[in-house]
Structure 1
Amino acid sequence: MQDAGRDAPAQAPRQIPWRLSLRTRLVLWSSLTSVLLLVAVAAIFYVAVRGVLLANARTEMRGLAQQSAGGLSATLESVEVSGRTLAGTASGLGRQPLDLRTLMAATLEADPDIAGVMVIIEPGRLTPDDPGFDWYRRRQGAGYFESTVRGLGEDYQDYRTKPWYARTVGTARPWWGDPYANDATGGELFVTYNLPLFRTGETAGAIGMVSLDVPVRRLRNQLGELLAAPGLVPMLFSPEQHVVLHADPSLEMQGRLGELMSSRGRADLAPLLDALQRRLSLEFSHEVPRAGGVEHHTTFALPLGDSGWAFALGVPEELILAQLRQVTLWGLGGGLLGVVLCVLAVRRRAGMIARPIEDLTDSARHLARGEFDYPLGHTARRDEVGVMARAFDSARTSIKQQIREIAEMASERQKLESELDIARDIQLAMLPAPRTVRHGGGEAVLGALLKPAKAVGGDFYTFFDTLDGQLWFVIGDVSDKGVPAALFMARTVTVLEVAARLGGSPARALAESARHLVEGNDTCMFATVACGKLDLATGALEMASAGHEPPVLLRRGAAPAWLPVPGGPPLGFEAGAVFESWTGRLEPGDGLVLYTDGVTEAFDLANVPFGEQRLLGVLGEARGAAATCEALLAAVQAHAGEAPQSDDITLLALCYQRAAGKED
């Protein structure tokens, strides 16, 4: 919500009739004292009031700077919220041009600070044959200008090679760009807020970007009359320290602050440059070079939230002291008694003003101790103290309500976590335990591990043997994570096991499963699956794949190698999908390792994946089935370190043995 009063001009002080003014009284009393006393009083008055006036003026200017920075920050935060909302909603829509364009139009209508919206989904990022999506919409007069991004001009023909696109999709953080103007902006100076676009539920591997344009004139209007105020020096800096707005228009968009300091001999602004680079608030005094001397300034610098933008307000000391000098000159007409009377009156009045503030301070101490029902007075007053008291009372009530809501939310969250724990136990109970299967003189030792990224996940594995000595084994990965993936996983496991028990080849089992999983799949979820069948008596092996990672063959005396299993489409897309089988043989002592992409795509804090080479390196050491799974999981976790687990991790290992002369 925008601050309703941020654009309101400062209220002018009420004019005092001349017959009641302090100057008139000072003139009247001055006739009762000597010239020497008048000079002494004037000197004391100047010295005493100078420090107070400077302090009060700094406080007022500090408040003005904070108010202006707050208004600018609210505008930028409003755009950032709109950007995050647009990016999150666009990720959920996928590549649906009509819906995405409608969403872009709604974003422009909802936030008047935004003048243009751009959405890009890179071709082939959602699906291999996806043509992608790129569209730009901008306010233009009473209507809108719309175009594809590639149609905006030569600078946008191949946007994937542009630094602004590479920076956005290459990092996981939104960023503000420096002002620019071109044909795409209609010649108007814009700043942009850029966000990477991810698939729903993912935080790595951007599929495109969202960009929001904000006119610089909107930021200029935000500062209102401050830019035109005589003597004051408001400044707005971009994240790259460019001077975007300045009291002197000739300095706007002429370079970074450091460059202007060098070209104009302004070494006095070095603290300001350091504060901008470190994104810190700063208040400092400095001397500005002027013809014939220097001018003392006080500058207030404030970062605008986490946007990287910063606002600074410079105030000349001469502007503050000009009024003091004028009052001092008139004060020469006052007298000592008038000064004493004024001091006594101010002292009495200060006590009357301070007393209710002290009462509010006492109430604040009780609030800090958690005593929310401690009596709070002065709420009926109609002055600033009453405003503070009512705001304090409203905040106290809000805190009490929030504490109750937090307690209720904690209870609900605990209940949800308990239910998810039960769901995880049920899901893991569906998977078979590692065991040894024997038939016809051959045996297969099976080991498996499943580590979900969330409480429940979409990875699965299963295996079972038939009466004729065939060992069936399956591993798969559902396209999503969490509860939806767990439900689709349960359905997929059931369908695969029924299809496999009908007999035939793994390719036939995958084809039959594909036909059933398409039915009622309105959510368009899918699963990659590797399915195999091993003849325990002969070691004959037959495998088929529905878009899954290739298995690794561990042959005695040889390096680990990938099995060239032909790939087919994932299950859930095509009812009439056709799969090809790969056939081979396992010799005694051979092993087979199947895994999901949560292994190879496990990232460390530097965003480096575990990768296939590390996988083969770990599998190069001879181990049993269970030990192989545990060693591989330990290697993946050691590589990831403190980085959060981004995907489910599932492993299935098989070791084949045959003893000559033995029968089942």
Structure 2
Amino acid sequence: MTDQQPRHGSVGGRQVPWRRSLRTRLLLWSSLTSVLLLVAVAAVFYVALRGVLIANTQAEMRGLAQQAAGGLEATLDSVQVSGRTLAGTASGLGRQPLNLRALLEATLAADPDIAGVMVAMEPGRLGDDDPGFDWYVRREGLGLVNTPLKGLGYDDYRVLPWYTRTVGTARPWWSEPYANDATGGELFVTYNLPLFRPGGEGMGAIGMVSLDVPVQRLRGQLGQLVDAPGLVPMLFSPEFRAVVHPDTAFSGGGPLPEVIESTGRQDLAPLADALRRRLPLEWQHTLAGSGPRAGERHYSFALPVGETGWSFALSVPEHVILAQLNAVTLWGLGAGLLGVVLCVWAVRRHAGLIAQPVEDLTDTAHHFARGEFDYPLRHVEREDEVGVMARAFDAARGSIKRQLVEITGMEAARSRLESELGIARDIQQALLPGPGELRGGGFHVAWHGLLDPAKEVGGDFYTVFGREGDALWFAIGDVSDKGVPAALFMARTMTVLEVAAQAGGSPGSALRAAALHLAEGNDTCMFATVLCGVLELGTGQLVLASAGHEPPVLLHADGRREFLPVPTTGPLGVDVAGDYPAWRGRLAPGDTLLLYTDGVTEAFDAANQAFGEARLLRALEAGADPAALCHRLHAAVQSFAGEAPQSDDITLLALRYQAGDAP
């Protein structure tokens, strides 16, 4: 190893950006893995504990609701019992003011939940000279205040709604919360009972008794539930009004169905139905409406308070249930993240022990990439994975040196082969006749050919030459396979065809003679499809013969296009047919004959669709000269194929027959 070593974290003397450093990635992935594991564990525990916590809270809330409803039932039942006792005793006493006052005071003394008691007997109901009796006793501090109803501002209580309802329905009932001068501004609810003569219930009420209960007393029965943060206790009167509720929109509003309608709290519709049917209810709901707490999820419980007609409900928001769990989870995540930070710090301190050998090997690989294969290689002696990698580098270095020597030789051979193929391509193109024309008998014919091989050299060919003065002999062929073997067979085929054609005779006899020569010694079993013909310039007479080749296209002077039905036999080189039948016809001045190989119709695009005969006909332009016709058709094929590789040689030969000795 040289004395000048690359700096820590460098490759070939260049500092590696920290974002790409192996140490940074090691730290990143270890940190990310730890954080993901921490979050996954926290999520699993959170979901599991959440379910347990909600279930336990529901059970606890159910017990609290039952306990609160039981306490309210005891209080309200006590008031109702006191009311029935007072009504029964007062009707037995008749109009005895002193005894009735004493009875009222005794009722207050017997039940601390009652804040005021009233008895009202209508004048004349116990006798014609009966002046009636009305009296009210209420607590005030440690003493009692006694006063007639007129002292409360009731000049004629018999016309007041609470009195007419009590004596009219002849049934006890609870009033809605109210406050006035008699209550000292404090909210009260009153239990009202009709008063009958002893044994005279069927004769109509002679008056009424009422017992006042402070709403604060009922709130006190709920104990800590009222002031507990997050809990929502609700006490509903028999008329479904909220007597106790933390939201003034409920406690100061009308019956619950009306409040639901006015506030949009449709999530409380099940509660309203349960109150109406006097049934218990447990349900989960999301606060509706448009208030600040809309969308908050609640778990709620509702119970009828015995047979009193009152109902109690208790609700708790989900965030209150999960507040402690959320706090514990956050603390746990914080502690876990602190652990991750400590772990990352430890990994960072020791990452160099892992990263430094890899950085050394990376530095060596950089020098190898620059061709410095004699650069010193460290850590070959190690027994761990780094040593295995270093020895693999050492073996690769020797292998690369050997391969470079071989590649140099192969490159020279490849250059020679490319040069030879280029020469072969030039020779092949030189074998093909260029564009030209032939005149005779007052007519002339012009031709143009085009060959686009799929490889450096191809197997397609065409030839054109005059014969016997006014006759034009032409041929086009397609040799099986491609490349150099096809090019050699193509040259041989052209030679035997031209010799056979110069010997005279018809195109069919020329094909037969060529077939005999090509089949001899054809151990490679190569073959060629050939279409050849003779055109008499003076008459336009056309004779065609085919050995397995595609039919030519006749483009009439008026623009009509048609494939000529030339009979065909097997290709040359495989077998010799007994007869090569000819197709005979006549070209009119202005007609063009197009010969082509299957590299045109079987050119494929990227979707493996063939160019086909229909596109070939559409690509031919009437009136175009042979050169323009060939080049436009070739361009149409290339445009159709697009980026798809050329699958076969493309060869075109066009002959245009015209009147006159000059074009």
TM-score (norm 2): 0.46
Between structure 1 and structure 2, the one with the greater Rg is 2
TM-score (norm 1): 0.46
